[in-house]
Every structure is written in C-alpha cells, then in structure tokens.
Amino acid sequence: MVGRVELQQMDEGSLEVLLAVAVDDAAPEEVMPPVAGPPGWTPERQEAFRAWHRARRPGLAGPLRETTFAITHHGKIVGAARLAVRDSHEVLEAGVWLARSQRGRGTGTAVLRVLLDEAARSGARAVVADTKAHNTAALTALRRNGATLITSQDTADVHAELMPRMMQSPPTSTVNP
C-alpha cells in the first residue's frame, strides 16, 4: 500500500524543501522548464525553479491560470504536482514529478487520483496529461486512474484524457490548503 499522499499549496517553506528534494533526488530537466547555462543545479537554475513556482501561487484564477502543489508522502515532501487551465476552466492539464527515490511505489497513481479530485472541486469536466511512450510509470498511473491514452503515430508522445471525480470512500489522500 502506498500510504498517505497529500497535496499542499506551495508556500515559501514548502518551496525551499521541494527545491532541496529536487537538487538531491532529480535532474533539472525532469522537474522544470529548460534554463540556459551549464548542466546541473546551478544557482541560476535554482532561482528559476523558485520563480516558476512563485509565479503560480495565484492559482487557477491568476494570470498564468496554473497552480502547483508540494506532494507529501507520510508527511515528507517528495515531489510536485500542478493543474493548469487548458482552453477553459472546464479542461485542466495535470503534471507530476516525483523524486527518483519515490518512483515505482504507486505514489504517482495516488497523486493523480488526488489531482482528479481537486479538478472536480474546481469544476473541471476533463483533465488531460501528456507524457512519452517510454515513461511506463506515468502510463501506469494514468491507466490506473482510467485514462484514455492516445499515442502519436509520428512521435513518442502520448496524450491522456481523464474524467475528474470526487472521492466516494474515506480519503487516504487529501489536498491541504
């Protein structure tokens, strides 16, 4: 069993812990948009990571129409999740990254379930996600959450479509403000 997975709204404290997790247990290209310069977690890349998350604090109603959460597993921050307005508030895009040491344990499946619940609370009628055909962990999490997967004929891209739903049993995963 995966245990308790929660999403916390990003604040300065959780952002600094999340950055430390990323630096210790993920490559920059796995967790953030590209930043020019030498490879690795340079001071410039770390500041870009902070800025990216800070810019999303206003949430889905803010200018970027996107929000990020710190993922906690048994109370420890292990990655980040996001929801972004796609075309209208009825369609949200989901994204997740986990520290390498947390992958392959079912945490991503649980996180996606919580994101779907959050999307339902926000009024979304659909959630989409994009990944690559070689990302078996993401594909497994998507399938376990009922995604319809559409594979590109020309690239390794996979597009997923999911239906948000409210949890009907006692929560094992929650979103904390």
Q: In whole angstroms, what separates CA 68 from the centre of its chain?
A: 7
Q: What does the pLDDT look like over 18-29, one tens digit per residue? A: 999 999 999 999
Residue 153: band (very low, low, confident or very high) from pLDDT cuts 50, 70, 90: confident
Architecture of the domain defined by 5-169: 3-Layer(aba) Sandwich (3.40)
Q: What's the whole-number mean pLDDT along residues 74-87?
A: 95
Domain extents for the chain?
A: 5-169
The rounded distance, in Å, linking the Cα atoms of 161 and 142 is 9
Q: Is the pLDDT of residue 65 over 90?
A: yes
Q: Is the pLDDT of residue 89 over 80?
A: no
Residue 111: band (very low, low, confident or very high) from pLDDT cuts 50, 70, 90: very high
Is the separation of the CB atoms in 103 and 137 below 8 Å?
Answer: yes
According to the model, what pLDDT value does residue 60 have? 95
The rounded distance, in Å, linking the Cα atoms of 165 and 177 is 19
The rounded distance, in Å, linking the Cα atoms of 13 and 146 is 34
